[in-house]
């Protein structure tokens, strides 16, 4: 049930082009590391499974993202379209981050998304694995924030 929330075009049913645009919009929002801004892309009653954690609604999403980005420092994310159909999009992603001791990680994952008619995500299922990396193995070197348009994507980086 979506109430008092701004629509988020593009709307389903998705084409390849609109699905790619939706994926990039999600990547851009997550790279802000602003929980309140990110939460606006989801229905007020959105349901998530993130790893082994189950989350429901904007307030829980915001709390989750605050915890996440307090732990995952200098977070940089790239998402890539995997598949789409009607109101569903599947993505693969990888992000790099370090903990408070300076240890670096690359986290790989897949997400399945389902959208309502207003372009808001009502379901998000994420499976994620963390790989420790050495600082010299990092591939994401843009300034914090949006990935530059000329920065390679996952496939270009061999990820």
Q: How far apart are CA 23 and CA 81, in angstroms?
A: 6
Which sequence spans correspond to the domains of the chain?
16-137
Secondary structure (3-state) at 19: helix
User: 16-58 pLDDT, tens per residue?
Assistant: 999 999 999 999 999 999 999 999 999 999 999 999 999 999 9
Q: Both tokens of residue 11?
A: 């709307």
Within 8 A by CB and 6+ apart from 105, the residues are 72, 96, 97, 98, 99, 130, 131, 132, 133
* pLDDT for residue 2 is more than 60: no
Mean pLDDT of the 133-149 span:
98
The fold of the 16-137 domain, in CATH, is Nuclear Transport Factor 2; Chain: A, (3.10.450)
């Amino acid at each position: 049930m979506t109430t008092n929330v701004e629509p988020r075009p593009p709307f389903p049913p998705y084409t390849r082009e609109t699905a790619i645009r939706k994926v990039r919009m999600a990547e851009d929002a997550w790279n802000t590391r602003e929980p309140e801004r990110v939460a606006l892309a989801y229905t007020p009653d959105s349901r998530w499974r993130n790893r082994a954690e189950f989350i429901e609604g904007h307030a829980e999403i915001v709390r989750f993202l605050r915890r996440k980005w307090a732990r995952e420092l200098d977070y940089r994310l790239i998402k890539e379209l995997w598949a789409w159909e009607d109101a569903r999009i599947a993505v693969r992603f990888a992000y790099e981050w370090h903990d408070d001791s300076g240890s670096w990680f690359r986290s790989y994952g897949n997400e399945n998304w389902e959208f309502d008619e207003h372009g808001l995500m009502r379901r998000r299922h994420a499976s994620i694995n963390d790989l420790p990396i050495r600082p010299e193995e990092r591939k994401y070197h843009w300034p914090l924030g949006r990935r530059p348009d000329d920065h390679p994507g996952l496939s270009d980086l061999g990820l």
